[in-house]
Amino acid sequence: MHCFIIVALTADGFIGRDAQHNSTRWTSKEDAAWFNARSKKAGVVVMGRSTYETIGRPLPDRVTIVYSRSDKTRLVENQAKLEKNQVYYTKLKPKELLAKLSKLGFNETAVCGGSSIYTMFIRSGVVKTLYLTVEPVIFGEGVRLFNQELDLKLGLVTQKQLSPQTLLLEYQLIGRR
């Protein structure tokens, strides 16, 4: 199972002004097109409750999985099949979730936010790749990509201009320093 983080960052390293700040309000159309294409290829997107609430609907042509402490309906762990254009909830640890998804025939999972979910997945050791879109925006302060101290080493795989102003960086996680 290939698990990757896909995120847009401001030039000063923030993923939003606050937990309710929807990235589609400040990212480029090129980033939106990249995100849609890459996450549709994966087929499954995973996010936290706050991120889901900023979107407000399942992402088209993908299975949407939301981490939630309170939702007990449509739990991934109780499903024999997952359908695109539907929302499922989970409390599973990342390794358990990916094992379940793999058993259901999925090969890739896109982790789409927010900070707590990114941190949980990267700390669990399941993330192999980070796709970082750097947008020409500065917030000065806001929500960081990760909300805990980490000590990881990355290797740059590719860099690509999505537009004259927007840069996509692909990193492989090499290990812990």
Domains defined along the chain, listed by start: 29-143+152-176 (3.40.430.10)
pTM, two decimal places? 0.94
Q: Is the peptide bond before 48 cis (omega within 30 degrees of 0)?
A: no
pLDDT of 77 higher than 70: yes
Distance CA 128, CA 152 (A): 12
Q: Which residues of 56-66 are buried (b: 16+ CB within 10 A; e: fewer)?
A: eebbeebbbbb
pLDDT of 22 higher than 80: no
Q: What is the pLDDT of residues 47-74, one digit of tens each?
A: 999 899 888 899 999 999 999 988 778 8
Q: Residues of the chain with pLDDT > 70: what percent?
A: 99
Instruction: Quote the pLDDT of residue 70.
Output: 81
Residues 6+ apart with CB under 8 A from 106: 1, 43, 44, 63, 82
Residue 31 parent element (H or E): helix 29-42
Question: Side-chain half-sphere of 131: how many Cα atoms within 13 Å?
Answer: 23
Amino acid at 17: R
The phi and psi torsions of 172 (rounded to 5 degrees) equal -100, 140
Q: What is the pLDDT of residues 96-155, one digit of tens each?
A: 999 999 999 999 999 999 999 999 999 999 999 999 999 999 999 999 999 999 999 999
Tokens at 51, concatenated = 């991120």
Q: In a 3-state reduction of DSSP, which class is residue 10?
A: strand
The Cα-based distances of 147 to 97, 108, 131, 170 in angstroms read 21, 24, 18, 21
